[in-house]
Every structure is written in structure tokens, then in C-alpha cells.
Amino acid sequence: MTLLLTEADVRSLLTIPIALEVVEDSLRQQGNGELVLHPRRRIKLPDNALLHYMAAGDSVRGYFGIKLYTAVRGLARFVVPLFRSTTGEMAALIEADALGQLRTGAASGVATKYLANANARTACIIGTGYQARTQLEAVATVRRLERVRAFGRDPGRRETFCREMSERIGVTVQAMNSGEEAVRGADILITATSATKVVLEGAWLTPGMHINAMGANWPQKRELDEAAVGRANKIVVDSIEQSKMEAGDLIHAFAEDQSRWNAVQELAQIVAGKAPGRTSADQITLFKSNGIATWDLAAAVRVYEMAVARGMGKSIPIWQSEKQE
């Protein structure tokens, strides 16, 4: 039987600390060559309806997973079918909106752990929407923040975000009137927007900053200008193959010199101890996150195993042949 897990089930099981653990472990496996990863693909129909799909396999734990999601008329729907690689059976069908939000935030948290200065105490976030919450919560989990500044285009949503996140992370989140005002002097920067135009300029950066850029995963979109990318001494991504397809920030910046891709590292190599992270306090480090299927797979496996242990979810019959008389 297949276990159906709803958004409510996922939210009751998966937390930022657990997501940080499974994403970091997944990155270590990726760096050690234990996972198979297929980058995201998209189907777009003439009416702009979109289907996105991305897949991964884990031979150590014995699972395949694929994340499927549609984006139609402004509404996105996510699901992860989880299969056992030893039998081919579908172990679980998991609603995956919250799962994706948590694993994406956790990835920035892991990047911050390995790339930000250990004494980083001031964070800035540009973007105050759905994804911004787990981004900030994950960063606050791996660094002892003392000051947080936030900017978003909508003043009402910005104030709500600051009030709610101040309570959630136990640090006052101050609303700022511009991105530049929020960025100046911060140790850790997060961009989590749906913007199609630049929200972070290189002129605002100072030595020692770490940047988590996660909002643009289409080749024509970007959050950082060429100067911001150019000032980064170390550029790290989740998947070089996928980044060449959809990391607009880097695609734009590297357009005139494709050899710059040769200096880009994967976070998995750093987590696995096969490449250095930050090597000096003055470096500007950049993690360009697009989101990869191995994180979805790792989170789905953990959620499924916790649900089974707690007797949660609903069994649904799939591929169950009727008994012959």
C-alpha cells in the first residue's frame, strides 16, 4: 500500500532543524557520489500553464523520488511520489509545498554554516514572502544573530513579516525602506524574491559578506547585478549542470566569458570535505541556490519514515490487483 501524506502531515513532522540535518546529509552524499540527480525540466503550454519535474535516486537508502508541480493561473501545486528502488513500489505520495519551502530554507542554512563568517551577527533579507520565512529561520538556526533587517516592496506584508519573524526567531527583525538600507553593513544577505529585475547591487557589498541568492531560477531572471556577482570571491551552487540551465544571476554575469563557470563550486563538494569553504574573513561568498531534487528526496524519505513510525497518513491502494476467486 502507498501512504498518502498531506500538507498538514508534513508540517507536523518536518521542522527546520530536521530539514537542516537531512539537506546537509544529502549534500554530503552528493559530494561523495552516492546520489543520482536529474535537473529540473519544464513544459509550458500556449496558455502559460507550466509543469515542472525533477528527479533523484539514493542507492544507499533505496529510494527514487520525483518532484512534480504545476503553476497555473498563479497557483502552484506540488507533489513527491516516493518509490522503493528495490521493488519499484510507490512507498508514499506526499503533498510537497511545505516540504519544498523547508528544504529550500535549510539549503541556505547549510550554505551559511559553511560559508559565512563564524562571528556573523547581522542578517539582511530582501523579500518578505512565503519562501523568506524558512530562509531567515534556517540562517538564524546556524548563526547567533543579534540584528536582522528586512525589505520587501509591499509595506503591509513587510511589517507583518517582521512582526511574525521576530517572534519566531527571537531576534527583532527591523523593517527597512529600501534594499540598500537593509544591506549596508550586514554580514549575511538573503535574496528571496520573485523579482525579474535586480534587487541587490554590487556597490552595496562590503568585504566579509555572505550572500544566499535563491529567488531566481529562470535564465531570464536575476536578483543580483553583474557587479555583485563579480565582487564574489567564491561562488557556490547546488548543481553546476542545473545552474547553467536556469541560474539567471550567473548566466547574465558570465555571458561574455563562459570560462568563469570553471571557478564555480558545488556546495556538496564543500560539505563532503573535498573543497574548501570560506578561506578568509574578508572574502565575499555567494551561494546561488536553484533547488535540486536530492533535497526533496532526502526530506521526503525522512517525512515518510517518521510518518510510518508514528502511524500517520492514509493508506491508498495503487497497483493492487483484486484477488482471484
- If pLDDT is split at 50, 70 and 90, which confidence band does 321 have? low
- If pLDDT is split at 50, 70 and 90, which confidence band does 34 have? very high
Residue-level pLDDT at 274: 97
pLDDT, tens digit (0-9, with 9 covering 90-100), for 55-67: 999 999 999 999 9
131 and 275 in a single domain? The answer is yes
Q: Could you tell me if residue 125 is inside a domain?
A: yes
pLDDT, tens digit (0-9, with 9 covering 90-100), for 280-295: 999 999 999 999 999 9
Helix ranges (DSSP H) in the chain: 7-13, 16-31, 97-115, 130-142, 155-169, 179-183, 226-231, 240-246, 248-253, 267-271, 293-310
- If pLDDT is split at 50, 70 and 90, which confidence band does 324 have? very low
Residue-level pLDDT at 325: 42
β-strand pairing of 210-213 with 188-191: parallel
What rounded mean pLDDT belongs to the chain? Answer: 96
Stretch 3-9: mean pLDDT, rounded? 98
User: What percent of the chain has a predicted confidence (pLDDT) above 70?
Assistant: 98
Residue-level pLDDT at 318: 87
Q: Could you tell me if residue 324 is inside a domain?
A: no
CATH number, residue 250:
3.40.50.720
Residue-level pLDDT at 216: 84
122 and 213 in a single domain? The answer is yes
pLDDT above 50: residue 41 = yes
- If pLDDT is split at 50, 70 and 90, which confidence band does 194 have? confident
213 and 299 in a single domain? The answer is no
Q: Could you tell me if residue 73 is inside a domain?
A: yes
45 and 193 in a single domain? The answer is no
Instruction: Kindly report the backbone phi and psi dihedral angles of residue 200, in degrees, each rounded to the nearest multiple of 5, phi listed first.
Output: -135, 120
Q: Could you tell me if residue 322 is inside a domain?
A: no
131 and 219 in a single domain? The answer is yes
Q: Could you tell me if residue 214 is inside a domain?
A: yes
> Which pTM was predicted?
0.95
129 and 142 in a single domain? The answer is yes
Q: Could you tell me if residue 91 is inside a domain?
A: yes
Q: Could you tell me if residue 323 is inside a domain?
A: no
CATH number, residue 43:
3.30.1780.10
194 and 225 in a single domain? The answer is yes
Q: Which domain holds residue 260?
A: 118-288
138 and 282 in a single domain? The answer is yes
162 and 308 in a single domain? The answer is no
- What is the rounded distance in angstroms from the CA atom of residue 113 to the CA atom of residue 248? 24
134 and 282 in a single domain? The answer is yes
Stretch 136-152: mean pLDDT, rounded? 98
- What is the rounded distance in angstroms from the CA atom of residue 147 to the CA atom of residue 124? 9
Question: What domain count does the chain have?
Answer: 2
134 and 265 in a single domain? The answer is yes
Q: Could you tell me if residue 11 is inside a domain?
A: yes
- What is the rounded distance in angstroms from the CA atom of residue 231 to the CA atom of residue 108? 20
What does the CA dihedral 75, 69, 13, 170 come to, rounded to 10 degrees? -50
- What is the rounded distance in angstroms from the CA atom of residue 242 to the CA atom of residue 259? 17
pLDDT, tens digit (0-9, with 9 covering 90-100), for 61-106: 999 999 999 999 989 999 999 999 999 999 999 999 999 999 999 9
276 and 299 in a single domain? The answer is no
